[in-house]
Amino acid sequence: DSGVTQTPKHLITATGQRVTLRCSPRSGDLSVYWYQQSLDQGLQFLIQYYNGEERAKGNILERFSAQQFPDLHSELNLSSLELGDSALYFCASSVEGGPNYGYTFGSGTRLTVV
Amino acid sequence: TQLLEQSPQFLSIQEGENLTVYCNSSSVFSSLQWYRQEPGEGPVLLVTVVTGGEVKKLKRLTFQFGDARKDSSLHITAAQTGDTGLYLCAGAGYNNAGNMLTFGGGTRLMVKP
């Protein structure tokens, strides 16, 4: 157990639907990062939050949004889902706002859009 | 745009063999990290190298950061079946998104008994 908790572990939904992925960071970590992993694209950075505020944004689609709550857990919202959104979605956390000391990843949410 | 290229993409070897995985970029990174990912799990941090030329050893794994901090290698001695997995390098530094980790495409290692 890495200390980063992601729910749900698996999600199957239809095109056009909206889903919410949840992440609880490791105790004491202030930063939360969301990544998308697909077979052909590898690990792609989506967005980072640090202590409740958006810190950095990667190649996140406009249909996707995220937030970090006062208790530091984060949610990634995916809407108007398309078949191509099927992927593994990982949350990672770190104690500081930068990457130099590495990230702790959760076990991921496998999203299947049918 | 920072890009990290890993080679080889796939590697299948017999238990007991040695192997080296490479991670190359044209960009300079403030640190370079190696992760190992098993099916159904998230990547797990193996090591962080910070200083150009730095060498770190973790049991049978040896990690090296290039002098110019643009490349790195992972050498595994006497591979075991438990080493099977996806090895990812990740460079820390500024890109379009900010001070981030950029991941390589990964090397999928299979160690056969």
Contact between A76 and A85 under an 8 Å Cβ cutoff? The reply is no
CB-CB under 8 Å, A56 with B100? yes
pLDDT of residue B83: 96
Q: Which residues of B touch A109 (CB under 8 A)?
A: none
**pLDDT surpasses 70 at B97:** no
φ and ψ of A41, to 5 deg: -115, -10
**pLDDT surpasses 60 at B1:** no
**pLDDT surpasses 70 at B2:** no
Residue the block writes with tokens 């689609």: A61
CA distance A27 to chain B (A): 17
pLDDT of residue A22: 98
Out of A42, A45, A102, name the one closest to residue B33 (CB).
A102
CB-CB under 8 Å, A103 with B101? yes
Q: Which residues of B touch A101 (CB under 8 A)?
A: 48
Q: Average pLDDT over chain B, rounded to whole? A: 93
Spatial distance between the Cα atoms of A74 and A9, rounded to a whole number of angstroms: 15
Q: CB contact, 8 Å: B46 with chain A? A: no
Spatial distance between the Cα atoms of B87 and A19, rounded to a whole number of angstroms: 30
**Residue B97 vs residue A18, higher pLDDT:** A18
Spatial distance between the Cα atoms of A55 and B110, rounded to a whole number of angstroms: 37
CB-CB under 8 Å, B103 with A100? no
Structure tokens at A101: 């000391």
Spatial distance between the Cα atoms of B104 and B3, rounded to a whole number of angstroms: 7
pLDDT of residue B100: 81
Give the pLDDT confidence of B7-48 residue by residue, as tens digits: 999 999 999 999 999 999 998 998 999 999 998 899 999 999
Q: CB contact, 8 Å: B39 with chain A? A: no
Interface test with B, best of A43, A59, A110 (most B CBs within 10 A): A43
Complete DSSP assignment for A15-84? TT--EEEEEEPPTT--EEEEEEEETTTEEEEEEEEETTEEEEE-S--TTEEEEE-TTS-EEEEE-S--GG
pLDDT of residue B93: 82
pLDDT of residue B96: 66
Q: Which residues of A touch B97 (CB under 8 A)?
A: 45, 48, 56-58
CA distance A98 to chain B (A): 6
- Indicate the pairing of strand A74-78 with strand A104-105: unpaired
Structure tokens at A14: 């239809």
Taking residues B50-74, what's their average pLDDT? 95
pLDDT of residue A95: 84
pLDDT of residue B80: 97
Chain A residue closest in CA terms to B47: A102
Give the pLDDT confidence of A31-90 residue by residue, as tens digits: 999 999 997 778 999 999 999 999 989 889 999 999 999 999 999 999 999 999 999 999
pLDDT of residue B58: 95
- Percent of chain B residues topping a pLDDT of 70: 96
Exposure pattern of B68-92 as b/e (b: 16+ CB <10 Å)? ebbbbbbbbeebeeebbbbbbbbbb
